[in-house]
């Protein structure tokens, strides 16, 4: 575990897992390094219900810096570059490569061995290159990791019953 990592009380992180600095793993997320290693860079957020896993003796999972993995996404045995956003419910399968500054749309399925080129939005089943990232999408990619670090700070102070003592909520 890196410095300033926040794990939700019911997040599961097991096995050969490395989390970089300032990472957050949210409620009901599972990072399961039991069959192959998982390496996560700095400032990455793994949102509620997401699953990170690999394939035994075949495919590890490597995730870069400043990555946002949306609610209920499945990231399995693949390589994710830096400054990537994987949308809610998206699936990224074994040996796929998401280059830096990619956005995978909500619900998209990135098939095995697919390479998603830097600077583009991918969507659909199977995921296809849709368009270059515009300023708005690049901004979402850039602003989401620091926002999730801020959100995690809201959960830092809990009482003895593990109840939040935060007025923002």
Q: Does residue 162 lie in a domain region?
A: no
- pTM of the predicted model as reported, rounded to 2 decimal places: 0.90
**Separation of alpha carbons 131 and 16, rounded Å:** 36
Q: Does residue 112 lie in a domain region?
A: yes
Q: How many domains in the chain?
A: 1
Q: Which domain holds residue 140?
A: 6-153
Distances, alpha carbon 68 to alpha carbons 25, 29, 75, 168, in Å: 11, 13, 11, 23
H-helix or E-strand containing 141? helix 135-153
Q: Does residue 64 lie in a domain region?
A: yes
Q: Does residue 55 lie in a domain region?
A: yes
Q: What is the Cβ-side half-sphere exposure of residue 28, based on CA atoms within 13 angstroms?
A: 8
What digits encode the pLDDT tens for the residues 42-59? Answer: 999 999 999 999 999 899
Q: Does residue 160 lie in a domain region?
A: no
CATH assignment at residue 125: 2.160.10.10
Q: Does residue 119 lie in a domain region?
A: yes
What digits encode the pLDDT tens for the residues 108-138? Answer: 999 999 999 999 999 999 999 999 999 999 9
């Amino acid at each position: 575990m890196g410095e300033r990592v926040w794990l939700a009380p019911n997040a599961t992180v097991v096995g050969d897992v490395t989390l970089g600095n300032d990472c957050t793993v949210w409620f009901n997320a599972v990072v399961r390094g039991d069959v192959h290693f998982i390496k996560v860079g700095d400032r990455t957020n793994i949102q509620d219900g997401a699953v990170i896993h690999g394939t035994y003796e075949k495919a590890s999972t490597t995730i870069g810096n400043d990555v946002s993995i949306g609610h209920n996404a499945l990231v399995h045995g693949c390589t994710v570059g830096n400054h990537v956003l994987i949308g809610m419910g998206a699936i990224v399968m074994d040996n796929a490569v998401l280059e830096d500054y990619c956005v995978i749309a909500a619900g998209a399925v990135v098939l095995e061995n697919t390479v998603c080129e830097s600077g583009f939005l991918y969507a659909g089943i199977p995921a296809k290159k849709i368009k270059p990232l515009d300023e708005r999408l690049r901004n979402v990619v850039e602003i989401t990791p620091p926002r999730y670090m801020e959100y995690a700070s809201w959960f830092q102070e809990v009482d003895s019953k593990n109840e939040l003592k935060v007025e923002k909520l």
